[in-house]
Amino acid sequence: MATSPLRIQPPQRLLRPLAVPERLLLGPGPSNVPSRILAAGSQQLLGHMHPEVLQIMDEIKTGIQYAFQTQNRLTLAISGTGHCAMEAALLNLLEPGDTVLVTINGIWGQRAVDVSRRLGANVHELLKPLGEYFTPWDIEKGVVQHKPSVLFVTHGESSTGVLQPLEGLGELCHRHGCLLLVDAVASLGGAPIFMDQQGIDVLYSGSQKVLNVPPGSALISFSERAREKMLRRKTKPSSFYLDMGWLANYWGCDREPRRYHHTAPINSFFSLREGLAMLAEMGLESSWERHRANCVQLCQGLCNLGLELFVKEEKARLPTITTVRVPEGYDWKEIISFLMDNHAIEIAGGLGPSLGKVLRIGLMGCNSTSCNVDRVLHALQDALGHCRHSRL
């Protein structure tokens, strides 16, 4: 009998059926996906340059323009997650030696610093304690001191639960010859943002939070000012995959015939199209109000349980992700495991600089309901009772 040349056998684990348990995802993302969006993603494939797919991409563009409140021509979805959009924004805007000022009050500013340093930019940091936001005066001081060509701001700091006010920042930046780049991965659809009216030059977001779309696509838009800076580049962007010149063409933003750039994750785009459609059907204002009201109910309930909200000022609380201090004498990991094991609910601990300091509860898109607020409060009450005996 001929001996098989295979040295690695078919893995036994793969020969068993796929197992995906049911969970209520009330962490900082991803959030649960409604059946309409799941169904869209499981449609049969089409070719990535078929006219029907190009039309769906055009529909996605209009959905992003609505969600961002922008008329920018250069608006598209990146084939990647929120980090990919962050990289795309920074690597297209910055050339080696360009100065960028990054506001840091949690992990996302830290990540933007990391990405910018890899690009050879001259990076300055503007710091605030965790749980706080930047005032226009803080920012103007930094801009005047460092004279950056780009300012990076996180709208919804998901590691701390802070909502950064954006009023006046666009105008401030433009007065000092600087572009305003905003990360709205955790806030889009959950808190008001007006790209054009607020003078935001580059805005990006993700799919797996308020839009309730599986992770894998990210939204991005560039103002005319940002486009001009990119056109003035002396060097090519360091990534081919994320080169906005190529992507603009592929997404039909440059009035040239569309050329193949990469094979788009077509089914992800089907899902994204439906997520954006559902947001358009609900209306931004209703969505903002839904997140606000459920966040208020959650905060009240958490206080009633004796927990301490991490963000002191009510108006600075991110409506999509609420943070509480880890209660004295409890192990945060035990609380999280208790909710998962006994209630099939995911909540999260801190991230980066907030690790060990906070618990994070997310209510995003279809997960932002009064019923889910009651469920998570009930589960937390149970956890606080049961994990008490294991006080540190």
Which amino acids are annotated as binding site for substrate, given as ranges? 360
Q: Which is nearer to ligand PMP, 90 or 185 (CB)?
A: 185
DSSP codes joined into one string, 120-188:
T-EEEEEE--TT----HHHHHHHHHHH--SEEEEESEETTTTEEPP-TTHHHHHHHTT-EEEEE-TTTB
Kindly state the smallest distance separating residue 90's Cβ from ligand PMP, in Å: 12
Q: Which one of residues 156, 189, 190, 275 is an interface residue with ligand PMP (CB under 6 A)?
A: 156
Phi and psi, residue 123, nearest 5°: -105, 130
DSSP codes joined into one string, 70-82:
---SEEEEESS-H
Query: If you search the block for the tokens 């994070």, which residue do you land on?
Result: 360
Q: Which one of residues 25, 26, 28, 299 is an interface residue with ligand PMP (CB under 6 A)?
A: 28
Longest CA pairwise span in the chain (Å): 80
Kindly state the smallest distance separating residue 166's Cβ from ligand PMP, in Å: 14
Residues 98-127 that bind ligand PMP (CB under 6 A): 108
Q: Point out the residue whose Cβ comes nearest to ligand PMP.
A: 82
Q: Which is nearer to ligand PMP, 220 or 383 (CB)?
A: 220
Pairwise CA distance, residues 335 & 383, whole Å: 6
Q: Which one of residues 87, 95, 132, 183 is an interface residue with ligand PMP (CB under 6 A)?
A: 183
Pairwise CA distance, residues 383 & 392, whole Å: 15
Pairwise CA distance, residues 29 & 363, whole Å: 9
Q: Which stretch binds ligand PMP (CB under 6 A): 37-45, 77-85, 297-305, 334-342?
A: 77-85
> Would you count residue 206 as binding ligand PMP (CB under 6 A)?
yes
Cβ atoms of 383 and 338 within 8 Å: the answer is yes
Segment holding 382, helix H or strand E? helix 370-386
Q: Which stretch binds ligand PMP (CB under 6 A): 60-68, 150-158, 265-273, 278-286?
A: 150-158
Q: Which is nearer to ligand PMP, 191 or 366 (CB)?
A: 191
CA neighbor of 347 nearest in space, from 364, 359, 358: 359
Q: Which two tokens stand for residue 96?
A: 């080696």
Q: Which stretch binds ligand PMP (CB under 6 A): 93-101, 139-147, 182-190, 230-238?
A: 182-190
Q: Which stretch binds ligand PMP (CB under 6 A): 37-45, 75-83, 281-289, 331-339?
A: 75-83
CA neighbor of 364 nearest in space, from 190, 171, 233, 154: 190
Q: Which is nearer to ligand PMP, 184 or 377 (CB)?
A: 184
**Preceding peptide of 30 cis, ω within 30°:** yes
Q: Which is nearer to ligand PMP, 185 or 230 (CB)?
A: 185
Number of residues that bind ligand PMP (CB under 6 A): 14
Kindly state the smallest distance separating residue 132's Cβ from ligand PMP, in Å: 16
Kindly state the smallest distance separating residue 34's Cβ from ligand PMP, in Å: 19
Query: If you search the block for the tokens 């103007």, which residue do you land on?
Result: 140
Q: How many helices (DSSP H) and strands (DSSP E) are in the chain?
A: 13, 14
- 3-state SS class at 29: coil
Q: Which one of residues 41, 63, 82, 265 is an interface residue with ligand PMP (CB under 6 A)?
A: 82
Kindly state the smallest distance separating residue 4's Cβ from ligand PMP, in Å: 41
Q: Which two tokens stand for residue 186?
A: 């955790």
CA neighbor of 71 nearest in space, from 205, 222, 184: 222
> Would you count residue 319 as binding ligand PMP (CB under 6 A)?
no
Q: Which one of residues 165, 215, 252, 353 is an interface residue with ligand PMP (CB under 6 A)?
A: 215
Kindly state the smallest distance separating residue 145's Cβ from ligand PMP, in Å: 26
> Would you count residue 214 as binding ligand PMP (CB under 6 A)?
no
Q: Which stretch binds ligand PMP (CB under 6 A): 87-95, 136-144, 180-188, 232-240?
A: 180-188
Residues 235-264 that bind ligand PMP (CB under 6 A): none
Q: Return residues touching ligand PMP (CB under 6 A).
A: 28-29, 81-83, 108, 154, 156, 158, 183, 185-186, 206, 215
